[in-house]
Amino acid sequence: MSDIILATEGLTKEFRGFIAVNDVTLRVRAGTIHALIGPNGAGKTTCFNLLTKFLQPTRGTIHFKDRDITGMRPAEVARLGLVRSFQISAVFAHLSALENVRVALQRARGGSFDFWRSEEVLHHYDHRARELLEDVGLGDHVDTPAVALSYGRKRALEIATTLALDPEMMLLDEPTAGMTHEDVERIVALIRRVRRGRTILMVEHNLSVVEGLCDTLTVLTRGRVLAEGDYAAVSNNPEVISAYLGT
Ligand code: ADP
């Protein structure tokens, strides 16, 4: 059995002649935290959009758990256990933290409205939602509307709603972007706590977060894989250093 949970082969995306992702071969080992790093415009976001099927590749294939997911729709990929964490959508801004997670749990189970209204089911979701909020450090904020949470706590709520889907693999898009030092430390501790054998692929600009959290790094520049390895190997690679310094 291969321990590779996600694999791409020759993944390529062109936008009207411009090659944003160029022949990328990526291997993510199950149970690891893997970082996708690189300067702005390197193709990281496009890669994420390809992996979660929000974009169709121009060429190449994507396999998740040995299944070819290249032609699948985002919802199908999510059902297989590959889930991307999004920033809380404005639609749920006025729902409480608890309600946001309950909605995510309900969606994960695909329950109909009547099913959803039964006392027993409500109680079950309520209990599970509280557990998840406790896990991400929002136990004291269950009734706070999402809109009133601090930025760092919103990102923690976003992770709780992703965990509600119980994904085997999570894609985190810059989980610490725009955070204070304190919030960065909190989110790093949170990711460590909630990973529980899950695989995580994250785009992350903060290299000290990557160093502390990630087993493997893939460096992209101009759509191509420039280097891959652990933090020590990658950060000492002269090509990586010059790509980051723009020399
Ligand atoms: P990163 O996330 O590493 O900053 P992106 O994946 O956002 O990089 O972008 C890679 C390149 O592809 C950039 O030059 C960007 O301008 C270009 N690009 C991204 N999306 C589109 C699009 N929809 N149409 C045209 N060009 C795009």
Q: What does the domain layout of the chain look like in residue ranges? A: 1-81+167-247, 88-166
**Hey, whose CA ends up nearest to atom 25 of ligand 1?**
15
14 CA to centre of ligand 1 in angstroms: 10
CATH number for the 1-81+167-247 domain, one of 3.40.50.300, 3.40.50.620, 3.30.390.10, 3.20.10.10? Answer: 3.40.50.300
pLDDT at 93: 84
Per-residue pLDDT of the chain in tens (247 residues, 90 and over written 9) = 479 999 999 999 999 999 999 999 999 999 999 999 999 999 999 999 999 989 999 999 999 999 999 999 988 998 899 999 875 554 588 899 999 999 888 877 765 555 556 777 778 889 999 999 999 999 999 999 999 999 899 999 999 999 998 999 999 999 998 889 999 999 999 999 989 889 999 999 999 999 999 999 999 999 999 999 999 999 999 999 888 866 5
21 CA to centre of ligand 1 in angstroms: 9
Nearest to 85 by CA among 19, 141, 154, 185: 154
The ligand 1 atom nearest the CA atom of 55: 23
57 CA to centre of ligand 1 in angstroms: 13
The ligand 1 atom nearest the CA atom of 49: 6
Nearest to 202 by CA among 175, 227, 183, 226: 175
The ligand 1 atom nearest the CA atom of 38: 3
pLDDT at 229: 96
Report residues whose beta carbon is within 6 angstroms of any ligand 1 atom.
15, 18, 20, 38, 40-46
123 CA to centre of ligand 1 in angstroms: 44
Query: How far is residue 76 CA from its own chain's centroid?
Result: 16
Pocket mutation for ligand 1, best pick of 46, 55, 173 (most atoms within 8 Å of C-beta): 46
Nearest to 231 by CA among 40, 45, 31, 37: 37
pLDDT at 90: 47
Max CA-CA distance within the chain? 63
pTM, two decimal places: 0.91
Alpha carbons 33 and 211: distance in angstroms, whole number = 11
Structure tokens at 186: 């909190």
165 CA to centre of ligand 1 in angstroms: 29
pLDDT at 58: 97
pLDDT at 115: 54
Structure tokens at 136: 């991400």
Question: CB within 8 A of 235, min separation 6: which ones?
Answer: 207, 211, 241
Sheet strand arrangement including 216-221: 82-85, 169-173, 199-203, 33-37, 216-221, 224-229
The ligand 1 atom nearest the CA atom of 43: 6
Instruction: Kindly give the pairing relationship between strand 224-229 and strand 216-221.
Output: antiparallel
Alpha carbons 151 and 166: distance in angstroms, whole number = 24
pLDDT at 108: 74
Write down the residue that tokens 């557990």 correspond to: 131
Strand positions, DSSP E, the chain = 4-15, 18-29, 33-37, 59-64, 67-68, 82-85, 169-173, 199-203, 216-221, 224-229
